[in-house]
Structure 1
Amino acid sequence: MAQSVRTSAGEGDAVSLRGTEVTFKLKSDEAEGASLTEWVAAPGFDTGLHVHQRLEETWYVLDGELEFRLGDEVFIAAAGACVFVPPQVPHAFANRSQALTKFLLMMSPPTHDRYFIELAEILGRSGQPDSEAIAALRTKYDTQQLSSLTTDAVPQPAAR
């Protein structure tokens, strides 16, 4: 039987993706349908264009703005905006502003939260990121990278 989960403000396991903080509000081991993460994206954060065959993602911008690319469409999603990307749609999101951007990201199926945990481990190692380890991670978690991944965002203190 599934258990109810409550995560209050400032709570949840967190990882850093080189200056961008990801807090896990609902993890894949807690829910069958989706996982939920809260992000504080540093200026310069950019996922690069990528696609998932099975994963669907939904963003809700809490503060600041994100630039999205969905296929050939590029647009800005400001606070209060919701963006849904179904499987098989090439997409990217980035913080092009000079300020932190805070947003929620819901993923289904939920296991993609493990991708960010394992990516943080790789990016946390000294030296340049291990491109072979990142490529293997992408394959493991249904992510085909179509352009470069930017990992050199300007580190900022996390805002909660």
Structure 2
Amino acid sequence: MPRAPGKASTLGIGGAIRARRRGLGLTLRQLADASALSVPFLSQVERNQASPSLLSLEAIARALGVGIDYFVSVPAPHEIVRRADEHDRIELDSPVTYERLSGRHAERKLEALRLIVPPGLVAPVIHREGEGFWYILSGELEMQLGDRTFVLRAGDSVHFDQRHPYGMRNAGRREVRMIWVGTPSIFRD
């Protein structure tokens, strides 16, 4: 099937379906009839509250007159490879320095960052959905995870469910350099 112009890849699958449907002037009911899927299901898919199976996505694509790649595309090479001299600093109002190591493609599920934590920093205890992985490159970091406290040194790592409250403190005199990998992705472009 031919690919339609104006693909909305940054909107995710649900947003791309909604954008294409609206661009064609179709109602959810009309899309449901053409795809043999239910209106409630399609509504959830468009709001990214449900994920369509490959067969459902194929039916939606057919009903909207596009190929399945309209909704699911392979990231371009420049979105996959990150070179050592291409630091992508994320500007935040924070004493911690955040540098993106992961790609920037819209469908990514995880984020990989290099963090530089200054001496004396005490981060608030938080929790969120998904998994977290920390790897200490240099320095010493105190981590609170639930009601336990750990000291992490260069070469140490921790992999945890981020629904448990967690926080960190750099009680040392040197900055801590660490890798943080987490799901879901937290910084959107």
Q: Do the aligned partners of 2:81 and 2:103 also contact (CA within 8 Å) in 1?
A: no
Unaligned ranges ≥5, structure 1: 118-160
Structure 1 equivalent of residue 132 of structure 2: 57
How far residue 25 of structure 1 moved from its aligned partner, in angstroms, is 1.1
Instruction: Compute the displacement of 1:30 (Å).
Output: 5.4
Letter in 1 for 2:75: A
Change (3 A) 1:82 1:17: farther
Aligned residues: 113
Instruction: Name the larger-Rg structure.
Output: 2
Instruction: State yes or no: 1:92 paired with 2:92.
Output: no
Which range is displaced more, 33-42 or 12-21?
Answer: 12-21
Shift of 1:17: 4.5
CA-atom RMSD in angstroms: 2.1
Residue in 1 aligned with 2:147?
72
Give the CA deviation at 1:29: 3.3
Partner of 2:187: 113
- The alpha carbon displacement at 1:21 in A equals 1.1
For 2:112 and 2:97, locate their aligned partners in 1 and report how far apart those are by CA, in whole Å: 14
The Cα of 1:33 is off from its aligned counterpart by 2.5
Matched, 1:2 2:75: yes
Higher strand share: 1
Secondary structure of 1:113's partner?
coil
What's the CA shift for 1:20? 2.2
CA distance in 1, matches of 2:172, 2:92: 19
Q: Deviations along 1:19-63, whole A, 9 cap, x unmatched?
A: 3211111155355221100011101222211111x2221101001
Aligned partner of 2:119 in structure 1 is 43
Residue equivalent to 1:146: none
What is the CA distance between 1:87 and its match in structure 2?
3.4
In terms of fraction of residues, the more helix-rich structure is 2
Return the alpha-carbon distance in structure 2 between the equivalents of residues 95 and 56 of structure 1.
Answer: 22
TM-score after normalising by structure 2: 0.54
Higher relative CO (CA 8 A, sep ≥ 6), structure 1 or 2?
Answer: 1
Asked whether the 8 Å contact 1:28–1:34 carries over to 2, the reply is: no
**In structure 2, what is the equivalent of residue 131 of structure 1?**
none
Report percent identity of matched pairs. 21
Structure 2 portions without partners, runs of 5+: 1-73
CA distance in 2, matches of 1:3, 1:66: 36
- What is the CA–CA distance in structure 1 between the aligned matches of 2:121 and 2:93, rounded to whole Å? 9
